[in-house]
């Protein structure tokens, strides 16, 4: 059987082409693996710098085998905890704004609204709005987690919620008893009101949904969104005992 030179040449070219493609695939895989390992290394370094507990223990210098094994296990636990804390950052919402004093003698409560507006950008300064509430106060307030809706509570029983960007009033209640604090819950559909004796839960239409009878004479509230808990503080002098409670 006679093999033509052209057929041999075609086979060689096909073989070289396959070998070249295989080499390119292997090179790409190695490059991808190197990038992945580099990203993992950078992730571990970032987690250790932000959430690490300090310098690692030199486990190899420990002579006792049992102690060395326990310390090695602890180091793995600390490293995994730092990585999990770093990965959980995606659950964090944007940090709220705050005032930072330039020195120890400066007090942020002395800063006026006009000073903040002058130091802010034009876009931020345009978001200012004024509310004249001089009859049923003093007022406490709370913004929803999105920052769009405002919840107001007057000490003389006035409760109102509004979309402050559009200036639209949601629900408005006159409870005819003392209000000490108001707080949005996990979304803008429900809110809590610390009234004269008990704490009540309302929906955004102002309908009473629940009465927290274990939370009496509450003065301050805070909702923990990641724990789904409403924490309350009791500080009324008429109460039998000061303390804190929570409701899930």
Do residue 149 and residue 215 come from a single domain? Answer: yes
Residue 125 lies in a domain: no
Residue 216 lies in a domain: yes
Q: How far apart are CA 232 and CA 229, in angstroms?
A: 10
Do residue 82 and residue 166 come from a single domain? Answer: no
pLDDT digits (tens, 9 = 90+) for 119-138: 878 887 777 777 788 888 79
Residue 164 lies in a domain: yes
Q: How far apart are CA 82 and CA 153, in angstroms?
A: 41
Do residue 46 and residue 146 come from a single domain? Answer: no
Residue 113 lies in a domain: no
Q: Which of 31, 63, 89 is the last residue of a domain?
A: 89
Cβ proximity of 47 and 86 under 8 Å:
yes
pLDDT digits (tens, 9 = 90+) for 7-27: 555 656 666 666 565 656 656
Which positions of the chain have pLDDT values less than 50? Answer: 1-4, 236-243, 248
Q: How far apart are CA 210 and CA 103, in angstroms?
A: 46
Residue 144 lies in a domain: yes
Backbone dihedral angles phi then psi of residue 14, each to the nearest 5 degrees: -65, -40
Average pLDDT along the chain: 80
Sorted by sequence, the CB contacts under 8 Å of residue 160 that are 6+ apart come out as 151, 152, 169, 170, 171, 172, 173
Residue 118 lies in a domain: no
pTM to 2 decimals?
0.55
Structural domain harbouring 63: 5-89
Q: Please count the structural domains in the chain.
A: 2
């Amino acid at each position: 059987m006679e093999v033509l030179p052209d057929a041999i040449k075609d086979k060689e070219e096909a073989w070289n082409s396959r070998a070249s493609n295989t080499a390119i695939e292997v090179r790409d895989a190695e490059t991808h693996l190197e990038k992945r390992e580099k990203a993992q290394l950078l992730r571990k370094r970032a987690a250790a710098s932000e959430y690490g507990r300090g310098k690692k223990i030199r486990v190899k210098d420990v002579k006792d085998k049992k102690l060395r094994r326990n310390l090695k296990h602890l180091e793995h636990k600390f490293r995994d905890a730092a990585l999990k804390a770093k990965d959980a950052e995606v659950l964090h919402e944007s940090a709220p704004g705050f005032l930072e004093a330039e020195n120890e003698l400066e007090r942020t409560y002395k800063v006026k609204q006009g000073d903040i507006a002058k130091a802010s950008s034009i876009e931020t300064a345009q978001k200012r709005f004024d509310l004249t509430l001089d009859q049923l106060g003093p007022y406490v307030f709370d913004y929803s987690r999105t920052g769009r809706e405002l919840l107001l509570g007057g000490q003389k029983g006035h409760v109102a919620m509004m979309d402050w960007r559009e200036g639209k009033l949601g629900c408005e209640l006159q409870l005819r008893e003392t209000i000490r604090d108001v707080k949005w819950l996990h979304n803008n559909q429900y809110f809590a009101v610390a009234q004269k004796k008990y704490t009540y839960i309302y929906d955004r239409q102002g309908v009473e949904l629940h009465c927290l009878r274990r939370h009496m004479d509450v003065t301050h509230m805070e909702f923990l969104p990641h724990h789904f808990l409403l924490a309350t503080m009791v500080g009324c002098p008429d109460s039998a005992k000061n303390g804190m409670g929570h409701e899930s």
